[in-house]
Structure formats: structure tokens, C-alpha cells
Amino acid sequence: MSSESSLTRSVDFLISGMTCASCVRRVEKVIERVEGVDEVSVNLTLEQARVVLQNSEALQQKINEIETVVNNTGYEAKWLNPEEKIEDTSGSDQHKDFLQWVIAAAFSLPLVLSMIVVPIHHGWMLPGWIQFLLATPVQFWLGRHFYVAGFRAVKAGAGNMDLLVALGSSAAWILSTVLLIGYLFDPTAQSEPHLYYESSALIITFILFGHWLEKRARHKAASSIRALQALRPDTVCKWVDGQEIVVPSEAMIVGDIVVVRPGERIPCDGVVYDGESAVDESMLTGEAVPVEKIKGDQVTGGSLNANGRLLIQVEKTGKETRLATIVQLVENAQASKAPIQKLVDRISAVFVPIVIVVALVTFFGWWINGYLVEGLLHGAAVLVIACPCALGLATPTALATGCGAAARSGILIRDAEALERAAHIQVVGFDKTGTLTEGKLSVVSIVPAEGFNVQQILQWTASLSLGSEHPLAKALLNKAKAENIELLTPESFRVIKDQGRGISGKINDVTFLFGNQKMIENFGLHGDQLPSDVNGATVSWLVRYQDGNYELLGVVAFEDHIREGANKAIAQLKAKQVKVVIVTGDNEQAAYKVANAVEVEEVYASLSPEDKQNLIVQLRSEAGQKRSVAMVGDGINDAPALAEADLGIAIGEGTDVAAEVAGVVLMRNNPGLVAATIDIAQKTRQRIKEGLFWAFIYNIIGIPLAVFGFLSPAVAGGAMALSSMCVVANALRLLRWKAQI
């Protein structure tokens, strides 16, 4: 399922201690300096780093080196072994953060109450030494993380949110302490000066509260991966010599027979060996209705056995299963960066130094005019209000939430770039068979040439089909079985590609060819007018080659059924002002029959895979305008067009091929998910834009207010925490999204 070349491989790390976009950029920089690293992408929401390494035998050495350089920078890196389940420690981290906030709030509350009642009755002000005892633990014990991380940032020649918080809160604490010491050692002082310990304590308290809420939000945004990983059972029940033996999941191998009781998760991809049951596949496909399974049916690991006992023969385990494929696709999407996030990262890299300069200018500006204390406070307010936390959270939180919501509806988005492209789609090209139709063809008519009969044509065409996996071949074999036709094994079987599309082989030393109109035209033959009762059907001709001549023996007509939901899907796309076209290798009559049924006006038929690819290029620049084009296909014969399109969408079971060429994989054979893909992409993009807008507006308004003295450091700390919460809460609205199909 990986898109990387054989010369590279990706490894994932859990990164602890990041708080803002500046942290992300610094972690990326130190990892990029490690020799052999090709690419790095750090995700603040997931607290993970994906590193693409040049393939080498010294992989473990590189992993250790990356962990070391990250740890030396002030963060903690831990390699995520793909063979092991990720241990979810976010719950304990959230509890620790919550406890720290509660303690900080308990110490800060008396300071706040004192600040509120002093204007009413000055005698109620807490003595300075009590304020000192309350504020100091908050500043240096509960707030020690900001000093440690800020110092390491300075040591690395960079700045981050922690540095701004440490500087801002320290300014208020130092000023208050200097004033308190001056009062205590001044025998002439009549009354205690006004102190600002409440500002230093509240800055720390508000930001600890913001950290706790952010971690909760990030945990919720990344819940889709944890939910998918939880579908893998730790143990399985093997059926050995008529007995049930419970073993770890890792002990299960291909060929084993496993027992799955009602209410248990299926531990592997396999086939039902014995038993009958309804299987709930909703966590994998988004389809709520359980699917009935009987002997011989395929089952997917992670799905839920509802009401019957099943014996399943194992076909795929571990990383080879469909569930592992889905997890990998979702992880790729959430760990990647949208192009807009890269711009935000560049802005954040220079943001902190600029803020420090503005704070210094503010301090000196007020000091020069005779307001030393005010200058220190207003400079501190600038440092706190400008923390770029909301800026760093806006994009990754929305991406993680949007991709997770899409996955729950059966839409797997490969990466953030694919999500961003989906939001701009203007034209959608649908393959016909298997996308707009069910792909289950049936023979509706056999018309023999003069001198031949229906049974002969069916016998020869079905016999040729014994060597083919094409849907037409399956339809012929089903028809022959229903008619009790004896089949003959063909010799010299081959697939015809260069002279049209079809198959050929020898039956009783006579060469037969069976294929489309383009094939027979290459042999100098022309099909007669089709009977009126099969107009619009998919047709193929049977040709006999004998004594150097090609002879037309008959024609077989096939029909497919329109897939349920196809009409609604086309209507939804049109409502979004998206142009819809049909792109198919089938003949024009069959293509237009489907097009009329689903109300699509533009049809391109009789196209080879190469023709489809060229058509995508044509649609992209049609009418002199550059348009964004998506192609929807089954991921096999549509591969060139899926790769050429701005967004390739593989529908249904084309997962393996789709991983190589498509940006989106739809786990259900429902074309309505195409419109849903565009919808979730547009909503995610809108949340990103809204988050970035509010983050920028907050700084544009807040910094000048702090510079001119309209914001105290405590209020600035509260506003900063509030801005981060608003950005995250806005992104989490995507959790309520569901595909409307």
C-alpha cells in the first residue's frame, strides 16, 4: 500500500512536548539534518513525525540517531514500531494536565479575588508576602515547562510559544517582586505598592487550561485511527483437529482455520469455511446494514460477526489485511501537510522573533516616556497575546478531524494534498461499468448468423471465456451453466489488445475470436444492425478464422443494471456546479443508455485506457480554461486516467491499485460517496480558512491593543487560551459530518 519507492522507506515517531507551530518547525529542522533523511513531516495534532529515509541496512541506527537529536532539542521522540499496537497514553497525559491546571487555579483564585475586591475596599488586599507565596509555585513549579522549553529554544537559536509565555509571565513576577522587596526594606514606605502577581499566575493558569483543552481536542481529532486499530483482536481461536485453541493474533498464519463466535471481531481477511452469519462491516465501509455471509464468501478482518458461528480460513494477516491498508491510508492522510500549512509554517518561523522585537520596542517606548512599570507590563502583554498556538493548530486539527470523519463514512483520503485538490474539483469523469452500473453483466440476447444457432454461439463463446476473468466472460459462463451447455477447453488462449479488445483461442483446432466492434473492423468485418430489443446493450462479436478468412458467426448482447444511488449522486454533483461526464470503453449505444438513465449529457465511449488518459488532459483545458478534473474508476483498467487526473477516485474493491494511483479510495460501491468526498473536502478547507482567519485577526487586533496598554498580561493570557480553544472547537465541528447518500 505504500507509495514510496523501493529506495526509501518511512518510519513514524511519537513526539512529546510540542506546543505550537514553531515547535513543529524546529523538530523538522533537526531531523532534516540527520544524514539519510529525505523528507520530514511533523503533525502537531497527532504529535507524530513521519520520516522518509533512504533505504539502508542500518535502519535501527538511523532511528536511534533521530530519537537522540530530537531529545537533545528538548522534546521526546519514540519510534512507533509498525508491528506493535500504539499505546494510547493521551488519557494519562490529559489527567496530568488537568491536575496541574486545578492546582494552578487554586493558587491563583485568592489573587484574583483580591484584585476584584481591592477597588471596593483597599484593606482587603492580600499582604504582599502572601501574594508572593501563592504566585511563586505557579510561576516556577507548575510553569517550569515553559522555562525549560523556552531555554532549549533559545539554545537552538529559535523561539516558540513557551519562550513568549516564560518572558511575559516572568516580567510581571519580577516587577512585583522588585516592588515588594523595595517596600519591605524601605522604612519610610507608608503602604504596599500595587503588585502584579495575579497577572503572572493567571498567564500560567490560563495557558495550562488551554493546553489541557487542546490535548483533549487533539485526542478527539485523532480518534479515527485508534478506533480502527481497536478492531484488531489480541487473541484468536484456532480450530485444530476438531478443538478450539486460543492463541495470540501474531500466531495466526495463512491457511489456518479460526473460529469467530457471535459478537466477536473477525481477526483476518479470509473466506468462510463453514457456517452462516450476518457480518457488520460498518467500521470499514460505512455501510450500516449487516451483510449475510455463507460458505465460500469473503470476509474482512475487523468486521463484527453478528449472530452466527463462523469458521474462517485465513488468507491475509497483519499488515497484508484490508484493515491494515485502511489504517495506513488514514495515517498517511492525517500525518501529511496541506500546501497551505507549509505557508503557515514559514510564517510561524519568523513570527516569534518579530514578536520579541515588538515587545522590546513597546517596553522602551513606554519607559522613555517615563512609564517604566507600565512599559514592562505592556511588553509582557505583547509577548503573551502573540503566542502562535492558534495559528499552529488551525490546519492540522481540521485535517485530522476531516480525514477521520471521511474514514467513518467509508472515504479514505490518501493525504492532505488530495483533500485540498478534492475541494476544487470542477469536472468528474465516471467510468461506466462497476461505478455507475453494478458491474454484474448478464446475457440478454444471442443473435447467430445464418447457418448457426444460439446453442453453438453460446458454447463457443463460453468455452473461450474459461480462460478469462472479464465480467463479460463471467456472464457467459453463468448463462452456459444455466442452459446446461457442455464447455470445451480452449487452446492457444490469448487476450487481444492491439487490434481492439477481445480474446481468441482454438476449439477443436478451429480458431475463434470474440471481441468488440473495433476488433472485427480490424479484420475487415462489419456488424449488422442490432435487433431493436438490444439497443443500448454492450455487444461482442464471435468470429471464426479458417482458411485465411475471417467469418462473422454471431453477436452476443450484455446488459448491466444502474447502481442504486447513481441518479442521486449525479444530482448532488450538479448541485455543487460540478460537470459530470461518462468515460467508458463500452460502445456508444450502451454508454448513452446509462447516461440517459442517470441524466448525464456528455459521453465519451469506445475508449482504450490510453484514450481515457488523453481525454482527462483534454477536459482539463477545455474551452481555453484550466479546470480541475477528477476521475472515478475501479482502479484497474482505469489506472492511467486515475493517475492523470487532478484527483483519482477508486471505487469499491480497487484498493490495491488505488494505493498506487488514486488519491481517494471509496470503500463502498456507491457513487454517492464521490459527492460526499468533495463535500467533506470543501468543509475541511472552509474550517482551515476560518481557523487561520481568526488566528490572524486575533493577533492583528490583540498586539496593537497590548502595545498601547489596553490589555493586561493576565487578560492577554486568557485571550490567547480562548483563541486556541475557538480554533480547535471550530475544527471539531467536522466530527458531526456524515455522508449524505
Query: What Cα–Cα distance (Å) separates residue 667 from each residue in 421, 640, 664, 674?
Result: 20, 21, 10, 11
* Closest to 507 (Cα-Cα) out of 473, 551, 477, 463: 463
Amino acid code (one letter) for 70:
V
Residues 3 and 418 sit within 8 Å (Cβ to Cβ): no
Helix (H, G, I), strand (E, B) or coil at 238: strand
Residue 451: DSSP 8-state: T
Residues 305 and 277 sit within 8 Å (Cβ to Cβ): yes
d(CA 500, CA 470): 15
HSE-CB of 595 using CA atoms within 13 angstroms:
22
Amino acid code (one letter) for 467:
G
Residue 431 annotated in active site:
yes
Helix, strand, coil % over all residues of the chain, rounded to 5: 50, 20, 30
d(CA 469, CA 493): 13
The CA R_g of the chain, rounded to the nearest whole Å, is 33
Residues 32 and 164 sit within 8 Å (Cβ to Cβ): no
Residues 129 and 99 sit within 8 Å (Cβ to Cβ): no
Sign of the torsion angle spanned by Cα atoms 612, 410, 91, 393: positive
Describe the strand order of the beta sheet including 538-546 as a list of residue ranges: 442-448, 549-559, 538-546, 510-515, 502-507, 491-496
d(CA 480, CA 646): 43
Amino acid code (one letter) for 11:
V
* Closest to 305 (Cα-Cα) out of 244, 252, 248, 231: 231
Helix (H, G, I), strand (E, B) or coil at 484: coil
Regarding beta strands 579-583 and 602-604, do their DSSP bridges make them parallel or antiparallel, or are they unpaired?
Answer: parallel
- Within 8 A by CB and 6+ apart from 518, the residues are 499, 500, 501, 606
Please give the grid coordinates belonging to residue 180.
515588594
Residues 556 and 461 sit within 8 Å (Cβ to Cβ): yes
Helices (H), 118-160: 128-137, 144-155
Measured in whole angstroms, how far is the alpha carbon of residue 669 from the centre of its chain? 19
Query: What are the DSSP calls for 250-305, one per residue?
Result: GG--TT-EEEE-TTPBP-SEEEEEE--EEEE-HHHH---S-EEE-TT-EE-TT-EE
Helix (H, G, I), strand (E, B) or coil at 682: helix
Indicate left, alpha or beta for 232 from its phi (over 0: left) and psi (-120 to 50: alpha).
beta
Please pick, among 256, 269, 280, 431, the residue that the annotation labels catalytic: 431
Helix (H, G, I), strand (E, B) or coil at 320: helix
Describe the strand order of the beta sheet including 298-299 as a list of residue ranges: 243-248, 235-240, 257-260, 310-316, 269-274, 298-299
| Owner of C-alpha cell 500595587 | 194
Residues 145 and 96 sit within 8 Å (Cβ to Cβ): no
d(CA 493, CA 546): 17
Burial call 170-183: b when 16+ CB within 10 Å, e when fewer: bbbbebbbebbeee
Helices (H), 222-257: 223-229
Please give the grid coordinates belonging to residue 136.
511563586
Which residues have a catalytic role annotated? Answer: 431
